[in-house]
Amino acid sequence: MGAAYFYHLSEQPLEATLPGLLKKSLEAGWHVVVRGPDAARLDWLDARLWAGPEEGFLPHGRAGGAHDARQPILLTTGAERPNGAACLMAVDGAEVSEADCAALERVCILFDGNDPAAVDRARGQWKALTGAGIAAQYWNDTGGRWQKKAESGGTG
């Protein structure tokens, strides 16, 4: 059973934070699914990832293509993982379940710390997942560096 990592984005927006986390996931040898609730927003993120620096290129695609299974990073609004992802990055309040955590090495929940509704949603996700026995960590980007602020050991 994997762990849930909550990333409270207070100083950097999603488009600045996501590439670094994706790079670390690929370095760990994981395929990744980025799940969001809004297709237009994922299209926007897709464009940002393509426009990134050449030396930091992150191979990725949008779900629904002919080569989904071969994509190291797949952006989707669904629960599918055709690329065999070991890591899920949930953005913009995307649903995350206990089953997701059980099936994956890591689930990352990235939320905008400047949006009270996003913070409330993340709190609810923390409570639901830790209540189900999922190990969890809460990280904040205070001072431009990630700092672990809380941890729950889980039972699984």
- CATH number of the structural domain spanning residue 148: 3.40.50.10110
Residues contacting residue 110 through CB under 8 Å, at least 6 positions apart: 7, 9, 14, 17, 18, 21, 89, 90, 91
Q: How far apart are CA 111 and CA 96, in angstroms?
A: 13
Mean pLDDT of the 104-125 span? 97
Residue 36 contacts residue 94 (beta carbons within 8 Å): yes
109 has pLDDT over 80: yes
Tokens standing for residue 18: 């996501």
> What is the structure's pLDDT at 51?
83
Count of domains for the chain: 1
Percent of the chain exceeding pLDDT 90 equals 83
Any alpha helices (H) in 66-115, and if so which ranges?
98-103
Mean of the per-residue pLDDT values of the chain: 93
101 has pLDDT over 90: yes
Residue 50, burial from CB neighbour count under 10 angstroms (0-12, 13-18, 19+)? exposed
Domain that holds residue 144: 3-152
> What is the chain's alpha carbon radius of gyration, rounded to the nearest angstrom?
15
> What is the structure's pLDDT at 57?
83
What does the buried/exposed string (b/e) look like for 11-48 if buried means 16 or more CB atoms within 10 Å of the residue's CB? Answer: eeebeebbbebbeebbeeebbbbbbbeeeeebeebbee
Mean pLDDT of the 4-20 span? 94
Tokens standing for residue 92: 């913009």
Mean pLDDT of the 59-85 span? 93
- How many other β-carbons are positioned within 10 Å of the β-carbon of residue 133? 15
Residues contacting residue 20 through CB under 8 Å, at least 6 positions apart: none
Mean pLDDT of the 44-66 span? 86
